[in-house]
A and B are shown apart, each in its own frame.
Chain A
Amino acid sequence: MPKVVLKLGDDISTDVIYPGRYMATVLPAETPQYAFADLTEFNAALKGKQIPAGSIIVGGNNFGCGSSREQAVSTLKGHHLVIVARGFARIFLQNGINLGLQTVVCPTLEASENDELEIAGGEVVNKNTGKRFPTIPLPRARQAIIDAGGLIAYTRKLLQERHSRPA
């Protein structure tokens, strides 16, 4: 059962997730080293591979507000983290869907670090407190991108359909 490895408050900005001074690094293969670079202990734990894939970061409202920088998503995706937040900022949520970062919108969530969370069937169950919290499904239009395996695969499919159509 995945555990909460980091609990954060409201309005966590992309400057906190991926500080601007590392923005010259753009490739998804290279961004994971700078995840939460200013939270030095957490960053060290990530880089030291002490955080298992599927681990959960819990956020408050407006997670990922600020810049459109996609590094803020690829840096988390690179560590196979799951973000469960009360709410997300629009661009971050869209980038997450496009790149296949697992994001869960759970407006009433209550969880602490080290709690085990079960995410299934439209709810998050906090195994430590026994409390259950409903999740909000992503809009259907977004689901098509997820189902295709991300926006690159989805666009590739649309392009190929367009080119195979008789003119």
Chain B
Amino acid sequence: MGMTVAEKILARASSRDFVKAGDVVEPKVDLAMSHENAALVINQFLEIYQGTTLVPRIWDPSRISIIFDHRVPAESPKTATNQKKVREFVLAQGIGKFHDIRGDVGGICHQILPENGYVRPGYVVVGTDSHTTSHGALGAFAFGIGATEMASVWALGTALNIEVPATIKVNVKGVFKKYVGPKDLILYLIGLLTAQGANFKAIEFHGPTIRSMRTSGRLVLCNMSVEAGATAGIVPSDKETLRYLRTEAGVKGKVELVTPDKDASYAQVIAVDVSKLEPQIACPHTVDNVKPIKDVVGTKVNQIVIGSCTNGRLDDLAVAASILKGRKVADNVRMLVFPASGKIYSQALAKGYIGTLMSAGALVMNPGCGPCLGVHEGALGDGETALSTTNRNFKGRMGNPNSQVFLSSPAVAAASALKGYIASPRKGAK
């Protein structure tokens, strides 16, 4: 019997020839990522060593990445102090892949890892963030863990007691209509699978639509796989993965692609044809409450958010700028734009997207998680509605339990910003 990508990666990392879904393994970790919650990881890490004669040392500081993104710049003395403690720990332990609050190398963790070439096909990546699933876009097995589990990884270099997940295979064919893309596909799939449909499973993306999709789009699919409960989302690595790593992430040297065996065993196979797919909207207050746009067109919005680890990349800003060029954000609508990294911000500046967005009335903020998780800025007022390109719309997500969040693609968000209500960018489009 053959192996899926998840099985192949976990077999290699556990020094086994073969593993199958349900096996329990202790894979070596290739990359371990944390953000501000490294403050808690440090606390738990030091506790492991309490009562022993051992000196707390990270197993391999070159394999740790810490990126400040959740609350940047700090919104409170508490956060600033935690960030200071993390900085001191990074220095003391010699952690290499550290990204502080900076305009050049800073940004959101799920953009920083790929754009710096930290993730390679076949890697086992763990992160103290549920959207660590993003990195499956580069053919890695990447999953979210809690802070204590990360402390254990820092000490041992292995993830303990990992159950090899069964895999759902998703075959995607067809060409997207104009202004329909990866975000609409993943929202559609989450609606189909439900919020727990892939719980404890991996999702493997296949088919001609995926093969011709750029890594930026694949990141959207894998990023939101966790919203169907998936342990990991994976696009088997291919020519596009190599192109991205070589030309966008500056990776040199050997890169080995990992593909599933032809006779790999899947728990479920789903076929999707995107050629007739319309823009999809996740409605309050669950991500699997997905409807085609026609069902919610006209819903009044107070705030538009474009950005985040899901949709804050250059192509997202490009489509928003193309829709807003020479036009104005509607009165009484706040449009907030958060590029996913300093690098993307600079590229968008050079291409004129930032200027276009600002002239239209959008407020362009610094790279970071921004209003997505309601801890920092861009909170909603009582009874207000946001339309956002982020990944979650749980009650209270944007900082106010008395508000509601709809999720969409950047094209829908931009078209809706012009109208002040949910509107299709496809109106009039061929």
A residues touching B (Cβ–Cβ < 8 Å)?
11, 13, 15-16, 19-21, 23-27, 38, 61-62, 65-71, 73, 87, 89-91, 94-95, 98-99, 139-142, 144-145, 150-152, 154-156, 158-160, 162-163
Contacts and interface: CB of A to CB of B under 8 A. Distances in A.
A89 B396 contact: no
A68 B395 contact: no
B396 A27 contact: no
Given A27-B40, A68-B130, A144-B161, A152 B47 contact: yes
A139 to B, nearest CB: 6
B369 to A, nearest CB: 10
B179 interface: no
Contacts of A16: 394-396
Contact of B196 (A62, A140, A160): A62
B373 A62 contact: no
B48 A99 contact: no
B200 interface: yes
Given A11-B196, A158-B156, 14 more contacts: A13-B394, A20-B396, A23-B37, A24-B71, A26-B40, A90-B229, A91-B146, A94-B146, A95-B148, A99-B148, A140-B24, A145-B160, A145-B161, A151-B149
B374 A152 contact: no
Contacts of B54: 159-160, 163
Most buried by B among A25, A27, A89, A91: A91
Interface pairs A-B: 8 shortest CB-CB: A95-B146, A26-B40, A62-B196, A141-B161, A13-B394, A141-B24, A70-B146, A20-B373
A154 B130 contact: no
B128 interface: yes
B52 A67 contact: no
Contact of A70 (B36, B50, B147, B156): B147
Interface string B397-419: 10101000000000000000000
Secondary structure at the B interface, as helix, strand, loop or mixed, is loop
A38 B396 CA distance: 8
B171 interface: no
B144 interface: yes
A152 B163 contact: no
A156 to B, nearest CB: 5
B49 interface: yes
Contacts of A152: 44, 47-48, 148, 151-152
Interface of B: 24, 36-37, 39-40, 43-44, 47-52, 54, 70-71, 75-76, 78-79, 82, 127-130, 132, 144-149, 151-152, 155-156, 160-161, 163, 195-196, 199-200, 229, 231, 286, 288, 373-375, 392, 394-397, 399, 401
Nearest to B161: A141
Contact of B199 (A38, A87, A139, A162): A87
Contact of A65 (B78, B149, B196): B196
A57 B374 CA distance: 26
A68 B232 CA distance: 13
Contacts of A144: 161
A67 B129 CA distance: 7
A155 B156 contact: yes
Nearest to B197: A62
22 contacts: A13-B394, A13-B395, A15-B392, A15-B397, A20-B399, A21-B399, A24-B76, A24-B78, A26-B43, A66-B392, A67-B130, A70-B148, A91-B146, A95-B149, A151-B151, A151-B152, A152-B151, A155-B48, A155-B151, A155-B160, A156-B51, A159-B49
